[in-house]
Amino acid sequence: QVQLVESGGGSEQAGGSLRLSCAASGYTYSMYCMGWFRLAPGPGKKREGVATIDRAGRARYADSVKGRFTISQDNAKNTMYLQMNSLKPEDTAMYYCAADQDEWVGCAPASRAAYGMDHWGKGTLVTISS
């Protein structure tokens, strides 16, 4: 079993920065793909894949965050990060950390948002004001 705990969310003004952390425990060595996903407030919103990183360290990003967000991981600490710069009000969402051991679907944000992930954290809220 894998446990994921997010931290680092909060309120920030547009243009500012936040860093999210995801502390992982359990059978993390077996995970192929890890990533950050978000769900914006309001009716009809769908989960969006923000950034993913695979076992080889390849990172991929949604077009909406490319150039502003950076995903990274510290294997020694079993922690994954999401550095978010140049934040915009539309980045306001609940951010979730997730992990999956399956390789066949790849490790891209959009496909993983659609296919799903096996393990999820409870989320951390990010609110960006204009």
Digitized pLDDT (tens) for each residue of the chain, 130 residues in all: 899 999 999 999 999 999 999 999 987 777 899 999 999 999 999 999 999 999 999 999 999 999 999 999 998 999 999 999 999 999 999 999 999 998 888 999 999 999 899 999 999 999 999 9
Q: What is the pLDDT of residue 29?
A: 73
CA separation (Å) from 61 to 42, 47, 107, 113?
Answer: 23, 14, 10, 12
The residue to which tokens 């294997």 are assigned: 75
Angstrom distance (rounded) from CA 128 to CA 1: 34
Q: What is the pLDDT of residue 26?
A: 86
